[in-house]
């Protein structure tokens, strides 16, 4: 709250803090679609936007009249600090009449910015009010219409703005009085006006529970809008509709390289896959490498399979190399790995169908560097960690060991259990680990829901079901509100490497796995990277993003424990995902295939549309949220 | 049987082929091989689904008794018995005639017997069929209660499955029509058994359980009082109902939950100022009246709301300001709309069917809204074309509409202002009089009651009504068997006689006849007696009228007065009688009728010393009139009464604690002093 009047409560007052907390909680619950950074909600009367005969107190919630009150020329109004955001869908506030004063000429209503404050609400253009002395409603006019009962000391008058159909109704002591105004303009401010001495009213913008059950009213509209969406007529295009959906699912599977699933789906739905089987598998293999942190191998494979691709995408190549450097620090890149432990299995040890889906944003044309927090689940926190863990364990058993030739000892044992074992042996690593496991458990909670979703569209393809278990369509709640799709278990990606990972882990997390030769190799690589940066700088001009990326990567070396340093975030395996999807998109683009799956485009489109609705003041957006429909 | 034959003939003529195949189905039921019989029943099942003609054919061909026989045979396999019940259930889904035939074949006892079978699947199909039969309006609900073991058994089956729950609660809610039915179900633990179903995962079960409660609680204090204390999963039942009224719930559920709470409130189990009534039930019912709902829902909503607030002025006030209810109801009169007539026949048909229902519901609700508050009445009469609508409603063909319209008119007629203005402007008395000519008793009661108000002396309608020959009509009402009609008839006459002209009074006496007047004075209904005395009192006002009437009917009136004073009557009746006596004492010649009647004077004396002040006052008033100075022969009367010891009594009364009585006695004493 920016403006605080000379109220009896001060910021430090616990009662005030409690009220403030209550207010925030209630507003969040009532208007979840409102982005307060863009469109703040009214929380008090504005000490700036009022006539001089108006006095404010009690945190700018109490309004009293301090003029002469001789005639209507002495009327005075005050507006709230902010207009009502359209994204509220349905907005509501209440005013309690503390005292009707001399004559009780009080008006409660709405007005636009700039309407004369030396008037009662309702008398002027873009001003609307319900007056206590006669119970009339005033719709931008000096003469009122009979509307409701009169109101006086002790009454609580509520004003509800329906931004879906642009109407307004009032309530008196919790009873709806029916529609007062229609065709309301946008951006109205809650407004009260007083006219005679002694008149005092208190506003409730959500500080206290409302007398009227506004949430019940909202629930009716939510049900209406959901019903409208569910019953949206598709008319003659019913068959077309189905094939569109099938293509969307199919292209999504292909995009992420779920080869077997995609084939099965195509068979069941009799659709055609655009891309060659081998091409899908190639992409899948490269993605797998990136996600496993073997960026060097990924670069080699890309150059081998798609010659010229990286040469045409120097930025992408640079990012890959940067990541490779980070992975060297991590000790996961094959160039340092081969020096520390046994050489990794060759690529063909990967499952024929990838089980990993990168997470990426709705608009992932560029990389999200460092901005992502590792908790990318869709906000589900496991109620019981151990329980969900066992759930994960059982699903890991089903993990496609089908084609993994290397899974002799570990495939049947859930990787998450492995992880937590090592976790307990080394307390210094506990933090990132537990973060991972939280994420993982929340994932497992989503499995079942996701599973039914996919199963339905795949005609109960059992193969599909198994794979689907490992992914989820989650949405990350965040300021950027990007849609995240799928995340994976970072532990499992490493699993095919026999028991090497166990060793790697128990070895402790040391720079480049603690191997001197590897460290030297890393330093050397760092120099190459530096050179590449300079070369790129010469060819394409200085690139600030590159510089920053490089700096961040090199900074890792400045700390004794890079995993627990300010830039340690980079080492988190989830950071590989954005790069992975960028590479995947680049490959697809080079093959003249869409760089984004249509499903994600549609989802992003829907989300954007809903946000756009809020901006163009279509109130129904608050009840048509995309995440309501993602199960 | 004859009907059946005709039916059969008709079908055999026009539909030989169908009948032939139908016959084949029936024949297979008699096959000696049980396996073939089973196959026959299954084929029959598939043949009748959704085919009403086929159903009728099979019934005519006598399939039902055979199916029932197979169903009841213990030698039949479970599968066969189940399939039989399925086919019977399918037949019951047809027309009302089908149901009648099934009931005539005693299907109900057979199916009820089937419920004793241990197999759940068989129980379920039997219940399903029973449900279909019982929800039909042609089935006598009493059949559920003939065997006293049936209800307890149904209660015990409630725990078996969601299906049994749904069917049984549906049967209950359709078969609970009288207070006796409510009591039977209540005594067999309906509340405890059904309450948990309100939170069943199945919507159908929840809905049917809710319906059960609404029929159980209707006008039943015992049930309602029990309901308020019932907990469902730790939550009070009223709160469960409130949740069911949430605005995102299906309308049917909101409406039925509101009904439950309404009935509980009317039965006194929930206070009318309880927030679940004021803030939830009432607004929910008002919402149901809005245009966006189905016509049936709007009718039910308005009727329930009218019932909810009928006795409570505060609820009437709240409702009158909720969501523009008064204006919203005006829309109820716009069916069928001109649009519906043009656009499609189906819609027109639908609108026409509900138009009467809508109008009567609106009238009822207006009546309830305006029954106490003057401001609300004003608001109602100011609603567009309201008075015209009532006037035309009074002469509609549908009795329900006429009754509701006259109820509404009656409610509004309690307003002095409306009587003086809108009632007169719209000449409502005219259709009202017409309505009184030939109507069933319920309409007559309301209409005559309204007429009473229209005949009040300040009502401008009084004159034209008098001229329309209403006296004969009212006199005939006083001879009705219904006490309510007798009261209204005599009440209207009483109002009419108030400060009336001589000729009107004479006309009333002539038309009513003294015999009928005295019959009314011995009426078993004390209201009738009171109003008759009131009529007498009004007739006996102003001196010339008193003398005129007493000269022709003095003997009978004095007799009647004596009888009433001697009999066991309430204080009010005696007071009224003494007032009549006081009026008689005010006449010039009529006085003598009292003065010459020593017995009557003794009675007056007795009442002057009565313990009730009102009676003392009336008796003293009477004496005061007798001894009034300025009149002829006052000296003699004073002397006579002094001899009889009245002065002593008056003297005593001047010391009375009641100021009125004291004053009255002093005034009387002054007559002696002057």
Facing residue for B324 by CB, picked from A178, A219, A223: A178
Inter-chain CB proximity B248 and A222 less than 8 Å:
yes
A241-259 average pLDDT score = 82
- Cα–Cα distance measured from residue A411 to residue A414, given in angstroms and rounded to the nearest whole number: 7
Would you give the DSSP letter of residue A274? S
Provide the total of helices (H) and of strands (E) in chain A, helices listed first.
Answer: 19, 14
- In chain A, the N- to C-terminal Cα span, in Å, equals 36
> How does the average pLDDT of chain A come out, rounded?
73
Residues of B in contact with A145 (CB under 8 A): none
Which residue of B248, B282, B324 is in closest CB contact with A219?
Answer: B248
- Model confidence at B79, pLDDT cuts 50, 70, 90, reads very high
Mutation site for A-interface testing, chosen from B244, B247, B375 by largest number of A Cβ within 10 Å: B247
Contact A175 B248 (CB under 8 A): no
| SS3 state at A111 | strand
Residue B102's pLDDT is 93
Q: Do the chains contact at B247 and A216, CB–CB below 8 Å?
A: yes
**Close Cβ partners of B272 (under 8 Å, ≥ 6 residues apart):** B265, B278, B311, B312, B314, B315
Per-residue pLDDT band for A567 (boundaries 50, 70, 90) equals: confident
Residue A436 pLDDT more than 70? no
Bigger pLDDT: A571 vs B41: B41
> Could A178 and B246 be called an inter-chain contact, meaning their C-beta atoms sit closer than 8 Å?
no
| Res. A391: pLDDT tops 70 | no
Query: What is the band of A443 on the pLDDT scale with cuts at 50, 70, 90?
Result: very low
Report pLDDT for A518. 78
- Look up residue A99 and give its DSSP letter: E
CA distances from B622 to A247, B108, B605 (A): 104, 73, 10
- pLDDT exceeds 80 at position B272: yes
Helices and strands in chain B: count of H runs, count of E runs: 45, 2
pLDDT at A403 over 80: no
pLDDT at B18: 59
Express as a percent the part of chain A with pLDDT over 90.
29
Kindly tell me if the per-residue pLDDT of A21 is higher than 60. yes
Nearest CA in chain A to B325: A178
Q: Which of B140, B144, B139, B81 is nearest to B109 (CA)?
A: B144
Q: A463 pLDDT exceeds 90?
A: no
Instruction: Place A60 in a pLDDT band, splitting at 50, 70 and 90.
Output: very high
Predicted confidence at residue B326, as pLDDT, reads 93
Across the range B602-607, mean pLDDT stands at 86
Whether the predicted model's global pTM rises above the 0.90 cut: no
Q: For A32-92, what is the HEC assignment?
A: CCCCCCCCCCCCCEEEEEECCCEEEECCCCEEEECCCCCCHHHCEEEEECCCCCHHHCEEE
Give the A window 183-222 contacts with B, CB below 8 Å: 213, 216-217, 219-220, 222
Spell out which residues of chain A touch residue B322, defining contact as CB-CB under 8 Å.
Answer: 175-178
> Which residues of B are less than 8 Å from A172 in CB distance?
321
- Which residues from A are below 8 Å from B321, CB to CB? 148-149, 172, 175, 177
Q: Report the chain B residue with the minimal C-alpha distance to residue A227.
A: B248
With vertex at residue A469, the alpha carbon angle to CA A467 and CA A471, rounded to the nearest 5 degrees, is: 90
- When pLDDT is cut at 50, 70 and 90, the band that residue B375 belongs to is very high
Phi, psi at B643, each rounded to 5°: -60, -35
Q: Which tokens in the block code for residue B266? A: 């009317």
Res B7: pLDDT: 52
pLDDT average, residue stretch B275-296: 95
Contact A128, A170 (CB under 8 A): no
Of the candidates A42, A346, A307, A36, the one whose C-alpha atom is nearest the C-alpha of residue A192 is: A42
Q: Determine the Cα–Cα distance for residues A91 and B440; give it in Å rounded to an integer.
A: 53
More reliable by pLDDT, B166 or B620: B166
Tens-place pLDDT, residues A115-164 = 999 999 999 999 999 999 999 999 999 899 999 999 999 999 999 999 99
What is the predicted pLDDT for the residue at A13?
62
Q: Which residues of B touch A213 (CB under 8 A)?
A: 279-280
Question: Do residues B177 and B217 lie in contact, with contact meaning Cβ atoms separated by under 8 Å?
Answer: no
Contacts of A233 (CB under 8 A, 6+ apart): none
Q: How far apart are the CA of A121 and the nearest CA of chain B, in angstroms?
A: 22
Of A322 and A370, which is predicted with more confidence? Answer: A322
Model confidence over A469-517: pLDDT tens digits? 333 343 333 333 333 444 444 444 434 444 443 344 444 566 666 677 7
- Whether B584 shows a pLDDT value over 80: the answer reads yes
Cβ distance B248 to A176 less than 8 Å, yes or no, reads no
pLDDT in tens, B162-191: 999 999 999 999 999 999 999 999 999 999
What is the pLDDT of chain B when averaged over all its residues? Answer: 88
Residues B99-155: tens digit of each pLDDT: 999 999 999 999 999 999 999 999 999 999 999 999 999 999 999 999 999 999 999
At A411, the pLDDT band (50, 70, 90 cuts) reads: very low
**Is residue A75 very low, low, confident or very high in pLDDT (cuts 50, 70, 90)?**
very high
- Summarize pLDDT for B9-21 with one digit per residue, the tens: 545 444 555 577 7
B-chain residue closest to A217, CA distance = B247
ipTM of model: 0.81
Give, for A300, the enclosing helix (H) or strand (E). helix A295-305
What is the pLDDT, as a whole number, of residue B340? 56
Angle between helix axes B313-321 and B345-369 (nearest 10 degrees) is 130
pLDDT for the residue A340: 56
The answer to whether the beta carbons of residues A546 and A314 sit under 8 Å apart is no
Other C-beta atoms closer than 10 Å to the C-beta of A428 total: 10
Average pLDDT (B258-277) is 96
Q: How big, in percent rounded to 5, are the helix, strand and coil portions of chain A?
A: 45, 15, 40
pLDDT band at A450 (very low <50, low <70, confident <90, very high): very low
Q: Tell me the pLDDT band of A446, cut-offs 50, 70 and 90.
A: very low
- Which residues 6+ apart lie within 8 Å of A617 measured at CB? A86, A163, A186, A187
pLDDT at A338: 63
DSSP A475: B
Residue with the bigger pLDDT between A341 and B161: it is B161
Q: What is the side-by-side order of every strand in the sheet holding A62-65?
A: A54-57, A62-65, A199-204, A90-100, A156-162, A167-172, A175-181
* Nearest chain B residue to A179, by CA: B323
Q: What is the pLDDT of residues A295-308, one digit of tens each?
A: 888 888 888 888 88
Can you give the pLDDT at residue A400? 39
Decide which of A348 and B514 is more confident: B514
Nearest chain B residue to A169 by CA distance is: B323
Name residues whose C-beta falls within 8 Å of residue B239's C-beta, 6 or more positions apart in sequence: B276
- Which tokens sit at B188? 């067999």
pLDDT at B384 over 80: yes
At B561-571, the pLDDT tens digits run 888 888 888 88
Task: Please say if the pLDDT value at position A343 is more than 70.
Answer: no
The pLDDT of residue B636: 80
As a whole-number percent, the residues of chain B with pLDDT over 70 amount to 96
Mean of pLDDT values over A389-396: 38
Q: Give pLDDT tens digits for B55-74.
A: 988 998 889 999 999 999 88
Predicted pLDDT at A508:
52
| Residue in B with minimal Cα distance to A226 | B248
Mean pLDDT on A50-55: 94
Report d(CA B586, CA B594) in Å as an integer. 11
Sign, CA torsion A476/A479/A483/A484: negative
Tens digit of pLDDT for each residue in A517-553? 778 888 888 888 888 888 888 888 777 888 888 888 8
pLDDT for the residue numbered A227:
87
């Amino acid at each position: 709250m920016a403006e605080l009047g000379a109220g009896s409560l001060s910021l430090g007052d616990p009662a005030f803090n409690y009220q403030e907390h209550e207010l925030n909680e209630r507003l969040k619950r009532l208007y979840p679609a409102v982005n307060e950074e863009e469109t703040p909600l009214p929380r008090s009367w504005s000490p700036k936007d009022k006539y001089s005969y108006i006095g404010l107190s009690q945190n700018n919630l109490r309004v009293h009249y301090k003029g002469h009150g001789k005639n209507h020329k002495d009327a005075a109004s005050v507006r709230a600090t902010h207009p009502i955001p359209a994204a509220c869908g349905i907005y509501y506030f209440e005013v309690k009449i503390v005292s009707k004063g001399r004559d009780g000429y009080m008006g409660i209503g709405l007005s636009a910015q700039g309407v004369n404050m030396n008037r009662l609400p309702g008398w002027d253009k873009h001003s609307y009010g319900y007056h206590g002395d006669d119970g009339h409603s005033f719709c931008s006019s000096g003469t009122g219409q009979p509307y409701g009962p009169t109101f006086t000391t002790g009454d609580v008058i509520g004003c509800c703005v329906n931004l879906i159909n642009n109407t307004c109704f009032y309530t008196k002591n919790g009873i709806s009085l029916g529609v007062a105004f229609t065709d309301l303009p946008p951006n109205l401010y809650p407004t009260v006006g007083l006219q005679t001495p002694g008149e005092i009213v208190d506003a409730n913008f959500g500080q206290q529970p409302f007398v009227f059950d506004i949430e019940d009213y909202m629930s009716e509209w939510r049900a209406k809008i959901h019903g409208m969406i569910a019953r949206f007529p598709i008319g003659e295009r019913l068959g077309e509709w189905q094939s569109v959906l099938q293509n969307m699912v199919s292209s999504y599977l292909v995009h992420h390289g779920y080869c077997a699933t995609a084939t099965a789906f195509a068979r069941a739905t009799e659709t055609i896959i655009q891309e060659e089987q081998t091409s899908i598998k190639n992409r899948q293999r490269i993605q797998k490498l990136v996600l496993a942190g073997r960026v060097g191998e990924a670069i080699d494979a890309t150059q081998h399979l798609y010659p010229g691709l990286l040469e045409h995408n120097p930025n992408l190549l640079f990012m890959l190399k940067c990541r490779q450097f980070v992975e060297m620090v991590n000790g996961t890149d094959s160039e340092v790995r081969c020096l520390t432990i046994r050489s990794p299995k060759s690529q063909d040890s990967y499952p024929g169908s990838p089980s990993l889906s990168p997470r990426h944003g709705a608009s992932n044309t560029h990389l999200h560097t460092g901005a992502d927090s590792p908790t990318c689940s869709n906000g589900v926190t496991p109620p019981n960690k151990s329980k969900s863990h066992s759930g994960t364990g059982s699903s890991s058993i089903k993990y496609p060991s089908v084609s993994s030739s290397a899974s002799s000892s570990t495939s049947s044992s859930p990787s998450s259990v492995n992880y937590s074992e090592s976790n307990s042996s080394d307390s210094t690593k506990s933090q990132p680990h537990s973060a991972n496991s939280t994420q993982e458990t929340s994932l497992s909670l989503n499995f079942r829901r996701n599973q039914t979703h996919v199963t339905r569209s795949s005609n109960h393809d059992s193969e599909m079901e198994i794979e689907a278990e490992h992914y989820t369509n989650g949405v990350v709640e965040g300021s950027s509100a990007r849609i995240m799709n799928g995340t994976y278990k970072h532990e499992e990606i490493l699993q095919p490497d026999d028991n090497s990972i166990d060793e790697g882990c128990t070895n402790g997390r040391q720079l480049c796995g603690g191997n001197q030769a590897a460290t030297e190799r890393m330093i050397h690589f760092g120099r190459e990277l530096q050179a590449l940066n300079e070369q790129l700088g010469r060819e394409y001009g200085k690139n600030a993003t590159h510089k920053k990326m490089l700096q961040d990567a090199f900074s890792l070396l400045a700390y004794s424990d890079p995993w627990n340093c300010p830039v340690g975030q980079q080492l988190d395996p989830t950071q590989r995902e954005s790069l992975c999807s960028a590479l995947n998109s680049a490959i697809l683009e080079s093959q003249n295939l869409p760089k984004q799956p249509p499903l994600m485009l549609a989802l992003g489109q829907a989300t954007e549309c809903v946000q756009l609705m809020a901006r163009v003041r279509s109130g129904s957006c608050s009840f048509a949220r995309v995440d309501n429909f993602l199960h | 049987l004859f009907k059946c034959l005709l039916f059969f003939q008709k079908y055999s003529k026009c539909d030989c082929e169908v009948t032939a195949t139908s016959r084949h189905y029936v024949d297979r039921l008699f096959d000696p091989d049980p396996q073939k019989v089973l196959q026959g029943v299954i084929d029959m099942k598939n043949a009748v689904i959704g085919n009403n003609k086929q159903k009728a054919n099979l019934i005519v061909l006598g399939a039902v008794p055979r199916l029932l026989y197979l169903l009841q045979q213990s030698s039949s396999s479970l599968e066969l018995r189940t399939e039989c019940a399925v086919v019977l259930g399918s037949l019951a889904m047809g027309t009302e005639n089908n149901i009648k035939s099934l009931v005539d074949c005693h299907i109900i006892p057979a199916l009820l017997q089937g419920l004793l079978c241990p197999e759940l699947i068989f129980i379920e199909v039997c219940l399903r069929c029973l449900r279909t039969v019982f929800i039909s309006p042609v089935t006598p609900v009493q059949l559920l209660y003939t065997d006293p073991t049936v209800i307890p058994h149904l209660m015990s089956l409630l725990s078996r499955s969601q299906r049994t729950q749904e069917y049984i609660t549906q049967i209950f809610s359709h078969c609970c029509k009288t207070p006796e039915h409510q009591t039977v179900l209540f005594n067999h633990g309906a509340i405890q058994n059904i309450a948990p179903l309100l939170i069943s995962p199945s919507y159908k079960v929840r809905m049917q359980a809710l319906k059960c409660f609404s029929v159980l609680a209707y006008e039943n204090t015992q049930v309602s009082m029990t309901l308020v204390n019932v907990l469902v999963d730790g939550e009070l039942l009223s709160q469960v109902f409130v949740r069911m009224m949430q605005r995102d719930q299906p309308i049917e559920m909101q409406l039925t939950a509101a009904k439950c709470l309404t009935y509980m409130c009317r039965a006194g189990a929930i206070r009318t100022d309880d927030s679940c009534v004021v803030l939830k039930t009432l607004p929910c019912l008002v919402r149901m009246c809005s245009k966006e709902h189905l016509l049936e829902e709007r009718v039910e909503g308005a009727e329930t709301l009218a019932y909810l607030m009928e006795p409570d002025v505060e609820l009437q006030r709240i409702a009158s300001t909720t969501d523009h209810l008064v204006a919203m109801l005006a829309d109820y009169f716009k069916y069928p709309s001109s649009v519906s007539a043009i656009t499609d026949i189906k819609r027109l048909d639908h609108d026409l069917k509900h138009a009467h229902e809508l109008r009567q519901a609106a009238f009822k609700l207006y009546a309830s809204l305006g029954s106490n508050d003057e401001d609300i009445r004003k608001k109602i009469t100011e609603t567009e074309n309201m008075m015209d609508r009532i006037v035309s409603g009074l002469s509609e063909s549908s009795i329900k509409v006429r009754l509701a319209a006259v109820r509404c008119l009656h409610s509004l007629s309690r307003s002095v202002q409306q009587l003086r203005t809108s009632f007169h402007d719209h000449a409502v008395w005219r259709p009202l009089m017409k309505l009184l000519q030939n109507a069933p008793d319920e309409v007559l009661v309301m209409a005559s009651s309204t007429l009473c108000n229209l005949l009040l002396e300040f009502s401008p309608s009084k004159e034209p009504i008098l001229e329309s020959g209403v006296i004969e009509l009212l006199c005939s009402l006083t001879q009705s068997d219904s006490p309510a009609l007798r009261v209204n008839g005599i009440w209207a006459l009483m109002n009419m006689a108030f400060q009336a002209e001589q000729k009107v009074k004479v006309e009333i006496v002539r038309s009513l006849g003294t015999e009928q007047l005295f019959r009314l004075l011995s009426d078993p209904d004390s209201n009738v007696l009171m109003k008759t005395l009131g009529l007498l009192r009004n007739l006996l006002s102003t001196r010339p009228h008193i003398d005129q009437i007493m000269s022709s009917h003095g003997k009978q009136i004095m007799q009647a007065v004596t009888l009433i004073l001697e009999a066991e009557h309430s204080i009010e009746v005696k007071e009224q009688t003494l007032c009549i006596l006081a009026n008689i004492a005010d006449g010039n010649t009529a006085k003598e009728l009292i003065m010459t009647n020593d017995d009557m004077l003794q009675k007056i004396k007795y009442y002057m010393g009565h313990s009730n002040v009102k009676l003392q006052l009336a008796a003293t008033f009477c004496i005061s009139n007798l001894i009034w100075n300025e009149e002829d022969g006052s000296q003699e009367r004073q002397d006579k009464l002094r001899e009889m010891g009245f002065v002593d009594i008056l003297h005593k009364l001047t010391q009375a604690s009641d100021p009125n009585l004291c004053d009255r006695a002093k005034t009387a004493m002054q007559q002696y002093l002057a």
